[in-house]
Amino acid sequence: MHKDLLRLARAERTVRRHLLVCVMAAVLGGLLVLAQAELLSGVLSGGLTTMALLPLAAVVVARALSGLLQGVAAGRTATALKSVLRHRLLSRLRDLGPARLTGHRSGELVTLAGRGLDALDPYITGYLPAVAVAGVVPVAVLVRLFAADLGTAVIVLVTLPLIPVFGALVGWQTKVVTERQWRALSRLGGHFLDVVRGLPTLRAFGRARYQATVIQQVADAHRSATMRTLRVAFLSSLVLELVASLSLALVAVPVGLRLLSGSLDLRTALLVLLLAPEAYIPLRAVGTKFHAAMEGVAAADQTFAVLEGSSGEEPASRGDLAALPAGVPEIRLENVTVRYPGRTDPALEGVSLVVSPGELVALVGESGAGKSTLLHLLLGFVTPSEGRVLVGGVDLAGLDHDVWRRRLAFVPQRPHLFATSVADNIRLGSSASPEEVRTAAAAAGAAEFVEALPEGYATVVGERGADLSAGQRQRVALARAFCRPGAEMLLLDEPTARLDGRSEAAIVEATRTLAAGRTAVIVAHRPAMIELADRVIRVESGKIVSDRLALGGRR
Amino acid sequence: MTPDPLAPQIGGRPIRRAGGPLRGMGGRLLTAAAAGAAAELAALGLIAAAAWMITRAAEQPPLAALSVAIVAVRAFATSRGVFRYGERLAGHDVALRAQATTRERLYEALIPSGPLSHRGADLLSRMVDDTDAVQDLLVRCLLPAVAATVTAVAAVTLAVFLLPAAALVLLAGLLVAGLLLPAATAVAARRWSARLAPARAELAARVADLVHGAADLAAYGAGEQALAASAEAGARLAALERRRSRANAAALALGTLVQGLTVAGIVLVALRAGIGQVPTAVLALTALVSFEPILPLAAAGERFAGVTAALRRLREIRATPPVVPEPAVAAAPPEAPLTVQVRDLVVRHAAGRAAALDGVSLTLTPGRRVAVVGPSGAGKSTLLSALMRTADFESGDILINGTAIGDLSPDDVRERITGLTQDPYVFRASLRDNLRLAGPEADEEELARAVHRARLDTWVERTGWDATLGEDGRTVSGGQLQRLALARALLRDPDVLLLDEPAESLDGATADALMADLLDVTHGRTTLLVTHRLHGLEGVDEIIVLEDGRVVQRGHHDELVATPGYYRDVWRSEALTARTG
């Protein structure tokens, strides 16, 4: 039983209701089998007349109906629970923020939120009802057997516990192996996505065909790992099957011999023959469903690990957020150090900095010096390990990040284009009119090529912007910033990195317009952009090494 | 199934098309099927023998009359589990082998395809889900069907001997439960199972957006919106899944109904016929048990529809013709030194779209260095793609040492003409492995030299050769990524070196220094350099200016700065802005 999953199922009303219906129907179906055995043995032994076939048919119909009810309710339980989990998982991913997402492999996350949760199906639709049936039906069968024939009842009572005992023994071993196999499957998915994404690079270096053999090796490793799991898992079902069928032989043979001596009547004998297997079947069903359900349990564990994983430096008092002063705020960094987990060198070390309202600051320096980290700090993607960031005198850690970010316009180094229309990509997060989108695109120098696309602004961008060139993608992302005229602060990470001279001049000009009356922090490599700045700050190995006012500034 | 327009092309490999993933597994498959059938027969034998023994015992015959039945009960009881174990192991082994083969073939089909027309996340879900389909086809459909058929035949045969009329009832019941129901579920499932995979892919794409676009979403406060979009995709998938479980449950319930009514019918027929208690009991209980392997076939039929849809999708991917066709007979690969002539090249990415390259000509003689400049979208990268055979051309020609490029195997071409391509990719592997893919045989010294030339040594010292780089280079900055790609190109050292924006994402000083180094390193090497920075181009032999896919200017740096046009404009703006660095 998965504690977290059951707690969740109990807490969600729809899930709880469907699960209850499903379990009740399963138990009812199990009990109806007893009635069926009773009637059938009666008719076959001549104890009941042919007319008893009518109630037998009625019982069969009732069993079919309870089965239908169980299946429908199980399906509803599963989809409802998966929806809840998926929603929580994705909300959690969003709350974790971009900085901490790097620790996870995106392929694995995509697998988990889709196929990974689908692994819960056998657990919910198969395992849970089976457990409920196993708790009720064998007891009912035993009670009936005790009433009918003491000898048989004792044999069943003695052999029955062997099944859960063996099942637990083998299942305990299976759990470890299945978890390992689930991780292997997850790695397999991640590895393949990695290889396919990098296929153009592999092709360029003639390594694509070689990777085919790597894929084969990974798949082979997956197969041998799975077969190891299955050899053990199926061994468990072998033991269980042997216990059950040998017990049937143990019951049937003495019953036959006692019939021979006349100490037992045929009706009871047939009832015993029909009922005895029904005591074992629910327990064995738990065993066979357990294996399929384990994959779901592993997925649930992984999901809850993401959900409850160390939230790290999440702001302590999310409910008690400070108000942000109106107007363009002053930005103040006080002795800020940022460390990324797993890295010994700090990304930023003891940085102190004041950016006055309306200032245009260019951040320059080597790649990897910490310029992007500085932007991420202002965005609240990363939190200082030491020191603090003050926005208009208020600690950023105590601010509602969503409210704060609404006042920012940001273009990351490698902007992501979403698999929606170009227009939706530009108006990301706002409800800008088509007119405003066009104006923003024009300002970013994107209007011309967007209008040349087959469906203009309605063209759907291929995944990861495959249909657009790097420069074009950069300009669509830049248009996003232009599409938030209300933003008080501009954060641009190498906005002209992928552009040629002419487009660069246009973007520099547009940035000048956009920065008017706003604070702007721009990671810049190119002279044209640097020349725009009032102030040029050079970052090296996580430290500010020079901070000087520009000669001309933007004026 | 719709006829495949590419059938003749694939027809050359008929086994691969039909039973491809199962090739060479006949023996294993037969073992699994036989063991499965034996296990079901043992179960049937167990109940038949037990029923006979008990009802016969009630007639109180001498003990000897029961001894065979007693032995049979014990033998069947023991062998059932053993057979079942054998079936499961053999069946899953075959299924996993078939799955691995399917995976490999899917990837192999993707290798020559050039630019990916499928989405990455979509491919992932197809790969994992659809290749599972082959496994399901065997374990859940084929093997159970064989075992069920054998059992049904045995049960009906037994009934014929006891009471032919009852055999008819049993046959009818088994046919309804074993053929009609699975066929019905398969048809019902097929109608919307084709919608299940796209719904999954849609959800995967939405999730991928949430993960890859996390920074953009957070910065623009669009997280809620993206979350809602993924929730909608999830809800659409859930609705389809609910319908599937409803159909499944209905089929199972109908199966239970048919089983129960068939048994009741057989008892009625047997009692009317008055054949006696022993045969009646044997008939009834055998019939009851003979349904056990039949009933799961309804679910198998439902799964079968999904399996065929998945296999069809896999076939579609494999049938997609490569962007650049392989020549029927590849010409002998050209020997270095190479002369590359591009003549009136026209490249169009899709029919109906404007030509990406429109009549471009250039010649690369050994040792000659040519730079291609122009605004983004002018067709610079397309030219490199055409040279690397990842994009085909509509008209014109590319000659390598006089041989038409179309007569050469694309792999042979890329072996010789390659370098730093657009959007280089960092694999989630060690830095050493990421570099070494460009030169698998390179020794430490060569690796170090490439790293040094790409001005990557400080970073490598800090990060370490064995540090694992993140997926999609997320822990690697743009500049580092670019220099890593450059190091790869230099390590590779091809006959014709292609460099697509080598200084992209580098800051001014580093970019200038890198370009200077590059022009130094490539001295006397056949090089085609694509760049939008003009700094340092004084040293190359020819500069070609592309705009809108056409060559608008060409010549040496000195000539071009003297002529009005794109080159002089950009050169002047660069010179102006280069004052502060």
What pLDDT digit, counting tens, does each position of A37-61 carry?
999 999 998 888 888 999 999 999 9
| pLDDT classification of B472: cutoffs 50, 70, 90 | very low
pLDDT at residue number A444: 83
The 3-class SS string of A100-144 reads: HHCCCCHHHHHHHHHHHHHCHHHHHHHHHHHHHHHHHHHHHHHHH
Task: Report cis status (omega within 30 of 0) of the bond before B337.
Answer: yes
**Shortest Cα distance from B471 to chain A (angstroms)?**
7
Contact of A421 with chain B, judged by CB distance below 8 Å, is answered with no
Q: Which of A200, A206, A405 sits opposite B218 (nearest CB)?
A: A405
Burial of A175 (0-12, 13-18, 19+ CB in 10 A): middle
Domain A331-549 in the same topology as domain A3-306: no
Cβ-Cβ contacts under 8 Å, A199 against chain B: 110-111, 116
What's the pLDDT at A32? 95
Provide the CATH number for the domain formed by A331-549 in this structure: 3.40.50.300
Sign of torsion over alpha carbons A228, A233, A237, A240: positive
Angle between helices A3-11 and A13-44 (to 10 degrees): 100
pLDDT recorded at residue B200: 83
pLDDT of residue B157: 96
pLDDT at residue B285, as a whole number: 93
Q: Is residue A334 classed as helix, strand or coil in its secondary structure?
A: strand
The predicted model gives B277-296 an average pLDDT of: 93
Higher pLDDT pick, A125 / B177: B177
Lowest mean pLDDT among A190-199, B41-50, B519-528: A190-199
Largest CA-CA distance found in chain A, in angstroms, rounded: 116
- pLDDT of B471 > 60? The answer is no
| pLDDT at residue B569 greater than cutoff 80 | no
Q: Is B549 on the interface with A (CB under 8 A)?
A: no
Q: Is the pLDDT of residue B494 over 50?
A: yes
Mean of the per-residue pLDDT values of chain A: 82
Entry pTM: 0.72
Distance from CA of B245 to the nearest CA of A (A): 5
Stretch among A266-280, A374-388, A458-472 having the lowest mean pLDDT: A458-472
What is the Cα–Cα distance from B199 to B187, expressed in whole angstroms? 19
Q: Quick one: pLDDT at residue B165?
A: 95
Lowest mean pLDDT among A250-254, A290-294, A371-375, A497-501: A497-501
Asked whether residue B15 carries a pLDDT value surpassing 60, the answer given is no
Q: Looking at the partner chain, which of B116, B480, B579 has a beta carbon nearest the beta carbon of A527?
A: B579
Q: Which residue of B has its CA nearest to A236?
A: B85
Which A residues in the span 342-361 are in contact with B, Cβ-Cβ below 8 Å?
345
Residue B187 contacts A, CB cutoff 8 Å = no
Single out the residue of B575, B576, B537, B571 nearest to residue B557, CA to CA: B537
- Decide: A501 and B532 in contact? Cβ < 8 Å: yes
User: Which residue is closest to A220 within chain B, CA to CA?
Assistant: B100
| Interchain CB distance below 8 Å, B218 and A381 | yes
Both tokens assigned to A17 = 């209701």
Q: At what angle do helices A208-261 and B64-110 cross, to 10 degrees?
A: 170
Interface of A with B in 498-527 (CB under 8 A): 498-505, 524-527
- Tokens 């209980």, residue? B285
Please report which confidence band the pLDDT of residue A107 belongs to, taking 50, 70 and 90 as the band edges.
Answer: low
Read off the pLDDT of each residue in B405-413 and give the average, rounded to a whole number.
90
Give me the percent of chain A exceeding a pLDDT of 70. 86
Q: Please report residues of A whose CB lies closer than 8 A to that of B460.
A: none
Confidence class for position B51, pLDDT limits 50, 70, 90: very high
- DSSP label of B332: P
Residues 447-506 in B contacting A (C-alpha not used; CB under 8 Å): 459, 462, 470-472, 474-475, 477-480, 483, 488, 492, 501, 504-506
pLDDT of A536 strictly over 60: yes
Query: Worst-scoring range by mean pLDDT, A293-307, B59-73, B284-298, B534-548?
Result: A293-307
- The yes-or-no verdict on residue A464 having pLDDT over 80 is no
Identity of the residue in A56, A248, A259 whose CB atom sits nearest the CB atom of B77:
A248
- pLDDT above 80: residue B162: yes
How much of chain A exceeds pLDDT 90, in percent? 17
User: CB distance from A225 to chain B under 8 Å?
Assistant: no
What pLDDT does B475 receive? 65
Structural contact between residues B549 and B355, judged by C-beta atoms closer than 8 angstroms: yes
Q: How many CA atoms lie within 13 A of B349 on its CB side?
A: 20
Helix, strand or coil, per DSSP, at residue A423: helix
Tokens 């992984």 belong to which residue? A302
The answer, yes or no, to whether residue A316 has pLDDT greater than 80, is no
On chain A, the residues whose CB falls within 8 A of the CB of B353 are 454
A535 in contact with B at a CB cutoff of 8 Å?
no
Contact residues, A window 160-219, toward B, CB-based 8 Å cutoff: 185, 188-190, 192-212, 215-216, 219
Q: Considering only CB atoms, which chain A residues are within 8 Å of B260?
A: 36, 56-57, 59-61, 63-64
Distance CA B17, CA A234 (A): 33
CA pair distance B483, B458, nearest whole angstrom: 12
Question: Where along chain A do its domains lie?
Answer: 3-306, 331-549
Is pLDDT larger for residue B527 or for residue A248? Answer: B527
- Alpha carbon of A194: minimum distance to chain B alpha carbons (Å): 6
- Name the strand (E) or helix (H) holding A521: strand A519-523
For the segment B389-400, what is each residue's pLDDT rounded down to a tens digit? 888 898 999 999
Q: Which chain A residues are closer than 8 Å to B58 by Cβ?
A: 45, 259, 265-266, 269
pLDDT at B119: 46
pLDDT bracket for residue B353 (50, 70, 90): confident
Selecting from A101, A260, A531 the residue whose C-beta is nearest the C-beta of B580 gives A531
Could you give the percent of chain B with pLDDT greater than 70?
89
Partner residue opposite B532 with nearest CB, options A98, A104, A500: A500
**Residues in Cβ contact with B493 at an 8 Å cutoff, skipping those fewer than 6 apart:** B439
Please say if the pLDDT value at position A306 is more than 90: no
Q: pLDDT at residue B1 above 50?
A: no
Provide the mean pLDDT of chain B.
83
CA distance A403 to A386: 24
The correct CATH number of A3-306 out of 3.60.70.12, 1.20.1560.10, 1.10.3720.10, 3.20.20.70 is: 1.20.1560.10
In this predicted structure, the answer to whether residue B56 has a pLDDT above a threshold of 80 is: yes
Q: How far is A201 from chain B (nearest CA, A)?
A: 6
pLDDT of B17 reads 36
Task: Indicate which of A38, A85, A90, A421 best probes the interface with B, i.e. most B CBs within 10 Å of its own CB.
Answer: A90
Nearest one of A101, A94, A93, A89 to A340, comparing CA atoms: A101
Taking residues A522-539, report their average pLDDT: 84
Answer with the residue of higher pLDDT: B478 or B304.
Answer: B304
Which residue did the predictor score with more confidence, A147 or B210? A147
Q: What is the pLDDT of residues B411-422, one digit of tens each?
A: 889 889 988 887
pLDDT of residue A58: 96
Q: Do B73 and A105 touch (CB under 8 A)?
A: no
Q: Facing residues of B343 across strands?
A: B397
Between CA A547 and CA B34 the distance in angstroms is 81
Residue A395: predicted pLDDT:
86
pLDDT at B3 over 70: no
For the segment B116-134, the average pLDDT, to the nearest whole number, is 61
Residues 6+ apart with CB under 8 A from A8: A15, A81, A84, A85
Give contacts of A228 with chain B, Cβ < 8 Å: none
How close does chain B come to A3, measured CA to CA in Å? 24
Contact B507, A363 (CB under 8 A): no
pLDDT tens-digit map of B76-108? 999 988 998 999 889 888 888 887 788 788 788
Rounded mean pLDDT, B275-282: 92
The pLDDT of residue B555 is 92
The alpha carbons of chain B give a radius of gyration, in whole angstroms, of 35
> Does the structure show a pLDDT above 60 at A411?
yes
Chain B positions in Cβ-Cβ contact with residue A257 (cut-off 8 Å): 57, 63, 66
pLDDT at B169: 96
pLDDT band at B125 (very low <50, low <70, confident <90, very high): low
Mean pLDDT on A468-479: 79
Asked if A212's CB is within 8 angstroms of B111's CB, the reply is yes
A19-28, A179-188, B89-98, B202-211, range with greatest mean pLDDT: A19-28
Domains defined for chain B, CATH in brackets: 7-319 (1.20.1560.10), 340-577 (3.40.50.300)
Confidence of residue B339 (pLDDT cuts 50, 70, 90): very high
- CB proximity B441 to A under 8 Å: no
